[in-house]
Amino acid sequence: MPLLQTLEASAPTATLPATTRRIVLTGFMGAGKSTLGRALAERLGWAFLDLDHHLEQRAQATIPELFTRHGEPHFRRLESSALASALAATSTVIALGGGTPEVHTNRLLLEQTPGTIILFLDAPFPVLFDRCMIQALQSTTTQRPVLSDPAAAQARFLTRQPIYRRLATHTQQTADLTPAATVDALLAALTLRP
Ligand code: S3P
* Integer Cα distance of 160 and 104 in angstroms: 12
pLDDT > 90 fraction of the chain, expressed in percent and rounded:
80
Task: Name the closest-CA residue to atom 4, ligand 1.
Answer: 97
Element (H, E) at 93: strand 92-95
DSSP β-bridge partners for residue 173: 122
Q: What pLDDT shows up at residue 136?
A: 87
| Residue 3 confidence class, pLDDT cut points 50, 70, 90 | very low
Going by pLDDT thresholds of 50, 70 and 90, the confidence category of residue 110 is very high
Q: DSSP letters of 29-62? A: TTS-HHHHHHHHHHHHT-EEEEHHHHHHHHHTS-
pLDDT band at 2; cut points 50, 70, 90: very low
CA of 124 to the centre of ligand 1 (A): 17
Residue 11 has pLDDT above 50, yes or no: no
**What is the per-residue pLDDT across 176-191, written as a single tens digit (0 to 9) for each?**
999 999 999 999 999 8
Enumerate residues 6+ apart whose C-beta is below 8 A from 28: 98, 123, 125, 128, 156, 157, 160, 164
Q: How far is the CA of 100 from the centre of ligand 1 (A)?
A: 8
What pLDDT, in 10s, does the model give residues 111-150? 999 999 999 999 999 999 999 999 888 876 668 888 889 9
With a Cβ cut-off of 6 Å, ligand 1 is lined by 29, 33, 52, 63, 97-99, 144-146
For the residues 168-172, what does the mean pLDDT come to? 96
For residue 47, the CA-to-ligand 1 centroid distance in Å is: 21
Apex CA 24: angle with CA 39 and CA 113, to 5°?
Answer: 145
Which domains, from first to last, does the chain contain?
19-187 (3.40.50.300)
pTM (2 d.p.): 0.91
